Amino acid sequence: AQSVTQLGSHVSVSEGALVLLRCNYSSSVPPYLFWYVQYPNQGLQLLLKYTTGATLVKGINGFEAEFKKSETSFHLTKPSAHMSDAAEYFCAVSNYGGSQGNLIFGKGTKLSVKP
Partner 1 sequence: SQTIHQWPATLVQPVGSPLSLECTVEGTSNPNLYWYRQAAGRGLQLLFYSVGIGQISSEVPQNLSASRPQDRQFILSSKKLLLSDSGFYLCAWSVGTSEAFFGQGTRLTVV
Q: CA-CA distance, 57 to 52, in Å (whole number)? A: 10
Q: Does 5 bind partner 1 (CB under 8 A)?
A: no
Within 13 Å, how many C-alpha atoms sit on residue 109's CB side? 25
39 beta partners:
none
Site string for partner 1, 35-64 (x = CB under 8 A): -x----xxxxxx--x---------------
If the CB atoms of residues 61 and 102 are measured against partner 1, the closer one turns out to be: 102
Q: Does 107 bind partner 1 (CB under 8 A)?
A: yes
Q: What number of other Cβ atoms are within 10 A of residue 3's Cβ?
A: 12
Binding positions for partner 1, rule: CB under 8 A? 34, 36, 41-46, 49, 90, 92, 97, 99-108
